[in-house]
Structure 1
Amino acid sequence: MNPQDRTYKDKKVISIGTVSELTGLTLRQIRYYEERKLISPYRNERGTRKYSFTDIETLMDIADKREDGVQTTEILREMRLKEKKRESEKDLKKRMLQGQLNAQFKLGRGN
């Protein structure tokens, strides 16, 4: 994602301590979810983690699922499936738009 395309929710500017306060998760839990590849904080040149509001929403969702007994491997699998679906939908929209443009301007027909 291009940094200029990010919304305020996607900007990685929040410290791990603030994330812990906002979510009620311990620092250890947050780091564990990072180890399990459930979240990906930005790390600056000194290695300091920075999170976004989107990361916080993801952490809250993870915490809710963990309370319901869902394992982290299952959460990760679900997250990957959702991401694949989003990518497929984006690709379909792109192909549909290209088809509409081709039809509108009679492109791709040997003209």
Structure 2
Amino acid sequence: MANEASYKHKKVINIGVVKELTGLSQRQIRYYEERKLIFPDRTSGGIRKYSFTDIEILMDIANKIEEGVQTREIRQEMVRKQSVNNEQHRKMIQGQINAHFGIRRK
């Protein structure tokens, strides 16, 4: 399972392949990057590289756009989800620290 997670997040796919897999135009993909909805890596030559996770995100964005959701709303939802994930992660770490040191919450 760890290998599955690692390959999904590796940024090795160029924009041409992403275009083929998603059905989006290069302009649409770049626009979603400009709107801070997707974050490809760049090679030293400036070529964008995407992961399978990025492709899943792009497909989700395309579906939401088709449903009439604005990019601003999509970004707000992404920020909100990230905030919740960060809080859950913080609580998990705090729980592990408490368990390690035998601290009980009242």
TM-score (norm 2): 0.91
Gapped regions of structure 1 (runs ≥ 5): 1-5, 105-111
- Radius of gyration: which is bigger? 1
In the alignment, structure 1 residue 89 sits paired with structure 2 residue 93: no
Match of 2:31 in 1: 32
CA shift for structure 1 position 30: 0.2
Any residues of structure 2 matched to 1:25-64 within 5 Å, and which? 25-64=24-63
Q: CA deviation at 1:45?
A: 0.6
1:77 corresponds in structure 2 to 76
| 2:79 maps to amino acid | R
Aligned residue identity for 1:52: S
Partner of 1:108: none
Aligned length: 99
The answer to whether the aligner puts 1:23 opposite 2:27 as a matched pair is no
Superposition TM-score, scaled by structure 1 size: 0.87
3-state SS of paired residue (2:102): helix
Deviations 1:19-53 (A, max 9, x none): 00000000000000000000010001110000000
Identity of aligned residues (%): 55
Question: What CA distance in whole angstroms lies between the structure 1 residues aligned with 2:86 and 2:53?
Answer: 18
Structure 2, unmatched stretches of 5+, are none
